[in-house]
Amino acid sequence: MGECRKCRKFQFSDDNYKEDLTRYIDELYTQVKCGQTSTQDAIEHTQAMTDEYVKQVGERPDESALGRLGTIILYETLSDPPPWTMRNTEYPIESDRTAREYYAGLAGDIPVNLASDGSVKDLPKRRKRTDGENNYLNKRALRRNKERKRRRRDFISGRSPGVLNVKIDKD
């Protein structure tokens, strides 16, 4: 790929080549941030800069420089102001700021149901019974079931008075 029509020649000195690369990256970042360079131009500048660096120095740029160049290429995507790009884009690239704004916005959209008198009119929420209340209800249910079972057994065996009515419908 190599040469970019709009790029100037990059010169890396033998003793300060890392500082030169940092300076070129800073200049490119300033141009992109000010809107003087489009994303496509930033990609071409980055490609030309790294190719020239490898050609003159003989090694690839270090990880931090490559990370900064990647950030420059993705600057428009990462600095997109609307926080809903994560919702509206299929595979969004989210920075810490956009993720924070998105999730804060989700929590902030929940309406509070307040009446004019200041009372909250949300759906009622059941309270949890205490263990003592649960034990009391269980004992009461067991007593009641025991009594029902005894009355049914007495009725079936004929020991208690009562009438069993059976209604047969003819269709």
Tokens read off for 92: 């969004």
Cβ–Cβ under 8 Å, residues 42 and 85: no
| Domain locations along the chain | 17-78, 80-109
**Residue 167, amino acid:** K
With CA atoms as reference, report the closest residue to 2 among 41, 72, 37, 49.
Answer: 49
8 has a pLDDT exceeding 80: no
pLDDT in tens, 123-170: 778 899 999 999 999 999 999 999 999 988 988 888 888 777 778 888
